[in-house]
Amino acid sequence: MSIHIRNVSKTFGDFQALKPLDLTIQEGEMVGLLGPSGSGKTTLLRIIAGLETCDSGQILFSDKDVTRLHVRDRKVGFVFQHYALFRHMTVAENVAFGLDVLPRDQRPDKQEIRRRVQELLERVQLAHLASRYPGQLSGGQKQRVALARALAMQPRVLLLDEPFGALDARVRKELRRWLRNLHDELGFTSVFVTHDQEEALEVSDRVVVMSQGQIEQQATPQDLYHQPASRFVYDFLGQVNVFHGEANGQRLQQGDAWVAFPEAQSPQAGQLYLRSHELQLQELPSDQANLPLEVKAINLIGAEVRLELEPIGWQSDEPWEVAISHSQYNAWQPQRGDRCHAIPLAAQLFVSGQDSQPRPLQWSASGKRQPISEPLKLAANCH
């Protein structure tokens, strides 16, 4: 079932939680609502569910207007961050609950309910725990019961509000992949709320980024990452290094620090946004950039080594973060206090005084750069 949100707005007292917005979610799509706390994600989800009314606008499921339809008649499934399972009921009874309380003429017979519950428990890999009580389950298991309970009603739309928010990072990762597989297998339409960029980018077909009750951008994870429409989206999608400077000839300059623009690109005063893997570190400045940095912290956990670096002789609101491979790290073996230089490979320029789309910049890989994996002596020299 597709969902059409048309000109929907919502105020609480004199606070406008949602400015009039439009959004279409295609049948079978999985859409992540991503945004900082208070941006209106939950309000929008609750309006889709029928748990909240909107002040203006319409909600359509396929071509049926459900704006005034009661929550129980919208036939949507919900999963919330806090499992909300019935403590005095077993896992199987929890999953069966929605079916057991259906009006008699809609209720499947006992055998059918038992069959459906068993099938769902197998699907969420909890059949062996059917007779346990919620108090005897882990957080991840409880959340899978909550999901099975929502699916028991065979909803065409599943709405999830930070479904894995209360779980630890590893379980969270495992469950979101599992949810994505389930979504693909059963073919329902899903909308989920999260403030975790990684979660949104990993499982959504499309991500809707919200800020202050508005949609900032909606795009596939790939487009969102590569073509963020605004500074807000860029900032929100993860750690970013910012170099702000004035145009000076072919350079963007701040004090003695500078970045030379690629040929045929004229600099404009502004802020250069560089992601942690769009930079290379080396011992000396090059003809491309002079961005001296000092190593402040080293994080070895993960597929890459992340270095936290402090600008030397120039300003940045936040420390810089650069990712290098473990083999580069082993060759270089940087220590806290070591000095080095950052060389940009790619960046986006947000021009001062303009709120328009950033200008993408790309430096040719054939410059006179010395990758840091080569100069084994760098750590010793770079003091």
Ligand X SMILES: Nc1ncnc2c1ncn2[C@@H]1O[C@H](COP(=O)(O)OP(=O)(O)OP(=O)(O)O)[C@@H](O)[C@H]1O
Q: What's the order of all strands across the beta sheet hosting 240-248?
A: 289-290, 257-260, 251-254, 240-248, 270-275, 346-351, 359-362
User: Total binding residues for ligand X by CB under 6 A?
Assistant: 13
Shortest spacing between CB 194 and ligand X, in angstroms: 8
Shortest spacing between CB 98 and ligand X, in angstroms: 25
Residues 34-63 that bind ligand X (CB under 6 A): 35, 37-43
Q: Which is nearer to ligand X, 35 or 270 (CB)?
A: 35
Q: Which is nearer to ligand X, 102 or 169 (CB)?
A: 169
CA 381 – CA 327 distance, rounded (Å): 19
Q: Which stretch binds ligand X (CB under 6 A): 30-38, 269-277, 278-286, 302-310?
A: 30-38
Shortest spacing between CB 56 and ligand X, in angstroms: 16
What does the longest C-alpha to C-alpha distance in the chain come to? 81
Q: Which is nearer to ligand X, 11 or 316 (CB)?
A: 11
Answer yes or no whether residue 195 interacts with ligand X by CB under 6 A: yes
Residue 28: both structure tokens together: 């079978």
Mask for 6-25, x = binds ligand X (CB under 6 A): ------x--x-x--------
Q: Which is nearer to ligand X, 51 or 229 (CB)?
A: 51
Query: For the chain, what's the residue count?
Result: 383
R_g (Cα) of the chain, nearest Å? 26
Angle at 38 between CA 35 and CA 39, to 5 degrees: 45
Q: Which is nearer to ligand X, 3 or 33 (CB)?
A: 33
Shortest spacing between CB 327 and ligand X, in angstroms: 39
Q: What share of the chain is helix, strand, coil (3-state, %, to 5)?
A: 25, 35, 40
Answer yes or no whether residue 280 interacts with ligand X by CB under 6 A: no
For the purposes of burial, counting CB atoms within 10 Å of the CB of 165, is it exposed (0-12), middle (13-18) or buried (19 or more)? Answer: middle
**339-344 and 257-260 strand pairing:** unpaired
Q: Which is nearer to ligand X, 79 or 126 (CB)?
A: 79
- Determine contact, residues 79/190, Cβ cutoff 8 Å: no
Q: Which is nearer to ligand X, 56 or 125 (CB)?
A: 56
Residues 316-375 that bind ligand X (CB under 6 A): none
Shortest spacing between CB 81 and ligand X, in angstroms: 9
In sequence order, the 6+-apart residues with CB closer than 8 A to the CB of 314 are 243, 254, 255, 256, 257, 291, 292
Mask for 139-178, x = binds ligand X (CB under 6 A): ----------------------------------------
Shortest spacing between CB 333 and ligand X, in angstroms: 41
Shortest spacing between CB 255 and ligand X, in angstroms: 39
CA 144 – CA 121 distance, rounded (Å): 9
Contact footprint for ligand X (CB under 6 A)? 12, 15, 17, 35, 37-43, 193, 195
